[in-house]
Amino acid sequence: MIILAVDLGKARTGFAVSDPGGQFAFPRGVITEYVTERLVEKICREAETVGAERIVVGLPRNMDGSCGERAKECTLIAEQVGQKSGIETVLWDERCTTVAAYTALDAAGTYGKKRKNTVDAVAAVFILESYLSYLKNQASK
């Protein structure tokens, strides 16, 4: 099953996609969109392009596990994506994924404009890797 992961940001949204076997996560790119309706449309188009059978949307919980305003916004967007695309859409805790993405880019020596243009896709990879790990653990029970 191909899974598309989405790291929603205020301006930039990152994508990652799994292989059909659900073993690996690959960065897919970043889009810039400020208007929710157009963002939902672009996410649906990306899911169709990659042949996604599930969409995982990062849920930015607070460190104490509670949901703030941004988490509520992401929940609404995820619901709209699921309704519009007809593809199962799930929310997935994304705490610390952006920090992990910056750390990975630091280790790779990626800075400046290139870093700004890739950090959201790398964060989406971390979201997807976490979700794929969860699925593997569920299958082994």
* Total number of domains constituting the chain: 1
Q: Could you tell me the residue range of the domain that residue 126 belongs to?
A: 3-139
Are β-strands 12-18 and 25-32 bridged in parallel, bridged antiparallel, or unpaired?
A: antiparallel
Q: Please say if the pLDDT value at position 48 is more than 90.
A: yes
The pTM of this model reads: 0.87
pLDDT digits (tens, 9 = 90+) for 19-30: 999 999 999 999
Helix axis angle for 97-107 and 112-139, nearest 10°, is 120
The enclosing domain of 70 has a CATH number of 3.30.420.140
Q: Where does the chain have alpha helices with state H?
A: 36-50, 69-85, 97-107, 112-139
Structure tokens that stand for 43 in this block: 């996410």
Are β-strands 12-18 and 54-59 bridged in parallel, bridged antiparallel, or unpaired?
A: unpaired
More confident call, 141 vs 57: 57
